[in-house]
Structure 1
Amino acid sequence: MAEFQLETDRLILRGWRANDLDIFHAINSDPKVRRTLGPIMTRKQVADLISWQQDYQKENGHCFWALETKADKKLIGWCGIIRGGEETPVHDKLEIGWRMAFAQWGNGYVTEAAQKCCEWAAATFPDEQVWAITSENNNRSRAVMERLNMKHLPELDFDHPKVDPQSDLLRHVTYRKETSK
């Protein structure tokens, strides 16, 4: 079976490969990247996360896909769609997510990739909306959500059950993509 792939003008969203581990571990070891996501991840944690994404893709036809630049085929992060986790307001809803290498911030890649994922979701799941959550203080991700025409739903903000209660990342905000329906 052919590898899953979506393309934008500058990016490729694709399935995960065994040789992605080193680069994705480096991304998840960067304190600047992890500042609004949580603790630095070990190599094993990243390997398990990639394996989980691969299994999720096989079972569901989507995941948080590996994200690379077309120009040099360099892995720069991830972007994609999964079903939201239990004990969150987006449980079982289409949840968009992204993570980007710090060196690539400010290039518009996240917005470009996320827009493509939203288009894919609209075509694949036409009766469902796309949702997103992030820590309350993740202003960069919140700005992307707003560029995607997502609306903050303060009544659905919550303390994330997988975050340390003492962490300044505990409080999460919930967004939903506004549609033209």
Structure 2
Amino acid sequence: MLVTDRLILRAFEPRDRDAFVALNSDPQVMHFFGRPYSAQESLAQLSDFAQAQARRGYAFSAVERRSDHRVIGMCGLSRVDAGLPCAPATEIGWRLRPEAWGHGYATEAARAWLAHGFDALGLPEIVAFAPKINVPSRRVMARIGMRHDPDEDFLHPDIARDSELNPMVLCRIDKARWRALKEPHDT
């Protein structure tokens, strides 16, 4: 479990199932994922997260707002699928309910996960990718210090080449850059 000023980042629990299904079935939330997920797909994803947590010690987790203990989304780390050009790598990602957008929650959660990834897990680098048209996620990537190299953008193999969701923008941050960005705040 990770705790920030406003958030608790923790493994999903059985009590979170309805909130997670609602998150993944919301057309606004899932616009950049191509389509809303069915309840069955969402529950399978929760199972995958639990298995990843047990296997690697990290996974996408619930984002719970401390003020009201409501699950407002997910954020965390995951291994990049082998079929993607940035593999092998560890990615950071986030997905929040619309009422949580615009409050800095994604940035706050992502910073906590970067700190955990670099400081506790000893990861050398963390990547993130999103459709080029997903400007809100690209802004979060920039705010957390990730760098974008347009030469690394790619077409996602599971998405139609002519889809608005291709190409994917790939951003990276390594441990040295994370430490350099963090140091002025630690003194």
Scaled to the shorter chain, the TM-score interval is: over 0.9
Alignment of 1:135-154 (within 5 A): 135-154=131-150
Aligned CA-pair RMSD: 1.5
Per-residue Cα deviation, 1:85-142 (whole angstroms, up to 9, x for no partner):
1122331212100000011101100000000000001113435111101111100000
1:164 matched to 2:160: yes
Aligned partner of 1:72 in structure 2 is 68
Give SS of 1:99's match.
strand
Deviations 1:5-50 (A, max 9, x none): 1000000010111121111111111111111121110000000001
2:117 counterpart of 1:104: no
Identify the structure with the greater helix proportion.
2
- With the length of structure 2 as denominator, give the TM-score of the two structures: 0.90
> Shift of the alpha carbon at 1:176?
0.4
Task: Give the equivalent residue in structure 1 for 2:29.
Answer: 33
Match of 1:129 in 2: 125
Q: Distance in 2 between matches of 1:19 and 1:163?
A: 32
Q: Deviations over 1:144-178 (max 9, x none)?
A: 00001111121111111122334211210100015
Which blocks of at least 5 consecutive residues in structure 1 are unaligned?
none
Match of 1:50 among 23, 46, 49: 46
Structure 1 consecutive aligned stretches of length 4 or more whose deviation exceeds 6 Å:
none
Unaligned residue ranges in structure 2 (runs of 5+): 182-187
- Tell me how many residue pairs correspond in the alignment: 177
